[in-house]
Amino acid sequence: MSAPATALPIADTRASGRWSLSARVLFRFAFVYLILYCWPYGGKVNLFAAIPGFLFGAANEYAFVALTQLMEAPWRALCPWVAVHVFHLHGAVTQYHPTGSGDTTLDNLLLFCIAVIAAFGAMVWSILDRRRPNYTTLYAWLRLLVRFTLAFTMLSYGFAKVYPLQIAPPTLPRLTETYGESSPMGILWTFMAASTAYTKFCGMAEVIAGLLLVFRRTTTIGALVAAAAMLNVATLNFCYDVPVKLYSVNLLAMALFLLIPDATAMMRFFFLHKPAKLEGVWLPRFERRWLRIAAATLQAVVIVSVLYNNVWGGYQRVNRYSTTYFEHAPIYGVWNIDSFTADGSHPAAVSEGAHWSQLAVQRMTALYVRDAAGERVGFQTTYDESKHTITLSSTQLKQKGDFSYSQPDAQHLILCGNLDGKPIVAAFHRFDPSRFLLTSRGFHWINEDPFNR
């Protein structure tokens, strides 16, 4: 499918005509903005993903890769300064701190700074280079940068769902949580996590988009798949308050940016039902044979390296998390109260108003307590398995405690210790997790009646 050159003045790198003033100004702004946005930054996938063995790090402040930290240092100096001196903000929002959010105040200010710099850069560039008729070759290089950045991102997030790493199966604490207690993001994560097959399906859609984007001939279809996937992701992020709104919207914009050269041809084909031919925007062909061979070799190395980082790296992370993050606690399970003694009083039956009514324990690092009033609170945990002891601490309640635990049999648990100096003895019985319909219902091809509870 191919559009007439006059319909999209920047759609054909072979065209030597003069772009309109608006096209040149918009290109200058887009060039600066996209270069800065694709710049390596913690929590975002970038071209460093092409380095063998390189993982882009965890989230924002946890970016442990020294190269990424070096590249993001100017932004981490600029954004807090803008927060304090331009927007007159103060307190924790003006400093980088541990958070899993990509929509913090400083993240928004980063986008603001990029947009301001891009606008100023486009203005200065337009004055100094006002006589240049077009930027066909530079446009092709920019598309190459955006294409590979988007491809690497789709592959990274796609494989994180395929394994799965980004969205793990629902934990026992999550399964004991009521709908009313769940946050919108928690509901979305549970919905995705409840079906590993659906999570993998969504991941494969992103992987396919990434694979199509790395090859020139399949770029357009890859950008279409990426745009569809990212539109869905961005919509979910906005509707379920997932703090990755800025990133998902920019990734969607990058996919749409790649579709600009063929937009007229696709409109002509799909809406007018007229013949059309895709052309795209590509770098000029290298005249020297050795340059063509070198470029093809480099592309092959990059693709293999990125796939290695995601396929083998993902496999390694699954194994690592299975022995750390996914490791079950010694008292793993959902435990319902039998009796509860506090402050040295006599054992209180559940019906008489026990202080704790349920424990939900999954991982080594945390457990959740539900009291008789139905309130739910989390405690950080540290185990000494040799002594059968556990240390609890809650930042929410500002409480700390030390307990010993014992199990007369596999179905019963006894905790004995103190919480903020107050003695507590609690006895529990195990709740059978197979009774959770969300994880035990399974797939049914034939349903005589809807099973909607």
The tens digit of pLDDT for each residue in 229-241 reads 999 999 999 999 9
Give the pLDDT of residue 62: 42
Please indicate, yes or no, whether the overall pTM of this predicted structure exceeds 0.85. yes
Please say whether the beta carbons of 57 and 64 come within 8 A.
yes
Q: Could you tell me if residue 449 is inside a domain?
A: no
Average pLDDT score over the chain: 87
Give the pLDDT of residue 55: 57
Residue 402's domain comprises: 329-433
Q: Could you tell me if residue 4 is inside a domain?
A: no
How many domains are there within the chain?
A: 2
The tens digit of pLDDT for each residue in 422-443 reads 899 999 999 999 899 988 888 8
Over range 32-56, report the average pLDDT: 83
- How buried is 129 (Cβ within 10 angstroms: 0-12 exposed, 13-18 middle, 19+ buried)? exposed
pLDDT of 254 > 80? The answer is yes
Q: How confident is the model at residue 352 (pLDDT cuts 50, 70, 90)?
A: very low
Residue 44 three-state SS: coil
The tens digit of pLDDT for each residue in 355-397 reads 889 999 999 999 999 988 888 899 999 999 999 999 999 988 8
User: Of 13-22, 294-303, 405-414, which has the strongest mean pLDDT?
Assistant: 405-414
pLDDT of 53 > 80? The answer is no
> Are residues 298 and 378 both part of a single domain?
no
Rounded Cα distance, 356 and 373, in Å:
9
Q: Could you tell me if residue 443 is inside a domain?
A: no
> Are residues 354 and 286 both part of a single domain?
no
The tens digit of pLDDT for each residue in 256-289 reads 999 999 999 999 999 999 999 988 888 888 888 8
Please say whether the beta carbons of 207 and 222 come within 8 A.
no
What DSSP string runs through 265-334? HHHHHHTS----------PPPPSSHHHHHHHHHHHHHHHHHHHHHHHHHHHHHHHHHHHTTTPEEEEEEE
Compute CA 177 distance to the chain's CA centroid, rounded to the nearest angstrom. Answer: 23
Among candidates 200, 162, 201, 206, which has minimal Cα distance to 314? 162
> Are residues 149 and 63 both part of a single domain?
yes
